[in-house]
Amino acid sequence: MAGSLNKVTLIGNLGRDPEIRNTSDGKEVASFSIATTEAWKDKISGERKEKTEWHRIVVFKEGLVGIVKNYVKKGSKLYIEGQLQTRKWVDNNGQERYTTEVVLQGFNASLILLDGKSGTFSDTNTNSTMPDFDNSELDDEIPF
């Protein structure tokens, strides 16, 4: 195989409001966690079971950070497309730690709001249909 692919697709709900920080060069970065839940019926007991996984999301793409800042809050249901990235850091005790995150940057990053406020946002399409868009005044006639 000549190439490789690093792409993550998730649909989940935010556990708390997003956090907006600034980088050393003044750019805004959004971070939040979303939960994905798998549910099934136990074959032996017939009992309903659930397993929830938490995923750390970091948004660097400027247009998507604005969307997160203005429209995303605790409980929001999101569709996310990004890349896995693991970074190394040192904790307060001097121990090396690793954190794996889904990063939204570059041309393959996407964010879709799946509840109440419908819209699709990606780095190539940050001006997508927004909530409350009224297209009733658009002309149905095609001029050619």
Name the residue among 32, 106, 24, 113 with its Cα closest to residue 63. Answer: 106
Number of domains in the chain: 1
Confidence at residue 132, expressed as pLDDT on a 0 to 100 scale: 41
At 115, is the pLDDT very low, low, confident or very high (cuts 50, 70, 90)?
confident
Q: Is residue 26 part of a domain?
A: yes
**34-41 CB contacts, 8 Å cutoff, 24+ apart:** 34/10, 34/78, 34/80, 36/10, 36/11, 36/12, 37/12
Mean pLDDT over the full length of the chain: 84
Q: Is residue 134 part of a domain?
A: no
Q: Is residue 129 part of a domain?
A: no
- Domain CATH for 66: 2.40.50.140
Q: What is the CA radius of gyration of the chain?
A: 19
Dump pLDDT digits (tens) for 58-113.
999 989 999 999 999 999 999 999 999 999 999 999 999 999 999 999 888 999 99
Q: Is residue 21 part of a domain?
A: yes
The contacts of residue 23 (CB under 8 Å, 6+ apart) are 29
pLDDT of 140 strictly over 70 = no
**pTM for the whole structure:** 0.75
Q: Is residue 54 part of a domain?
A: yes
Better pLDDT: 119 or 34: 34
Mean pLDDT in residue range 27-47: 94
Domain around 23? 9-36+50-122
